[in-house]
């Protein structure tokens, strides 16, 4: 944590290496978060890039004040996604339900298998409420703790736990995971 604060401080002073390190530390989880939201690799790359460009441009406005850097990044990502989904839903051009991510796996059979599971989860998560979906996304794709997810969503930890419970319950019904 102290190391991250140090990186942030250096990045705010214009140290590009420090920001590059922050990028390396957080790229995977932001990418996963975006992929789970839109289920399309090409769009996910663009969106992830935009999140980090936005973070770089706005890092002067970041203040620690109890909000972890990851929570700040996910808020940026969330806002980008809201804009994206609003734009796309108006145009109705991207068939979300048909899009799939591409994985970096050298075993094609395993990759197809994982993709099918991913597709099931992406489709199932679309049946959740917005808040439930956000909790699942932050917790499982983003890897945030309950406390970090609560900071990101500006809710209490108790509310996040309740949302997590109801979301998994709803996913269980849709995914029909064996009892």
Q: Which positions touch another protein (CB under 8 A)? A: 14, 16, 19-20, 23, 27-28, 31-32, 35-36, 40-43, 45, 48-50, 52-54, 56-57, 91, 93-95, 98-104, 106, 108, 111-112, 114-115, 117-118, 120-121, 136, 139-141, 143, 145-146, 158, 161-162, 164-165, 168-169, 171-172, 175, 177-179
From residue 54, give the alpha-carbon distance in Å to each of 34, 51, 152, 157.
Answer: 15, 5, 17, 27
Q: What is the chain's length?
A: 179
Residue 99 Cβ, how far from another protein at the closest point, in Å? 7
Tokens of 14: 């214009």
Residue 19 Cβ, how far from another protein at the closest point, in Å? 7
Residue 14 Cβ, how far from another protein at the closest point, in Å? 6
From residue 120, give the alpha-carbon distance in Å to each of 21, 80, 96, 113.
Answer: 34, 24, 13, 11
Instruction: Count other Cβ atoms within 10 Å, centred on residue 71.
Output: 20
């Amino acid at each position: 944590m102290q190391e991250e604060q140090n990186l942030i401080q250096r990045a705010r002073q214009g140290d590009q290496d420090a920001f590059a390190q922050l990028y390396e530390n957080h790229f995977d989880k932001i990418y996963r978060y975006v992929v789970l939201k839109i289920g399309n690799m090409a769009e996910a790359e663009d969106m992830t890039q935009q999140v980090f460009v936005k973070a770089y441009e706005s890092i002067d406005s970041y203040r620690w004040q109890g909000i972890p850097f990851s929570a700040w990044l996910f808020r940026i990502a969330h806002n980008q996604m809201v804009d994206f989904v609003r734009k796309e839903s108006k145009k109705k051009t991207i068939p979300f339900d048909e899009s799939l991510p591409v994985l970096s796996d050298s075993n094609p059979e395993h990759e197809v298998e994982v993709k099918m599971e991913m597709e099931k989860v992406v489709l199932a998560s679309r049946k959740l409420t917005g808040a439930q979906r956000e909790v699942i996304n932050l917790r499982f794709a983003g890897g945030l703790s309950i406390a970090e997810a609560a900071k990101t969503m500006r809710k209490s930890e108790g509310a996040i736990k309740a949302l997590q419970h109801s979301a998994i319950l709803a996913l269980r019904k849709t995914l029909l995971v064996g009892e």
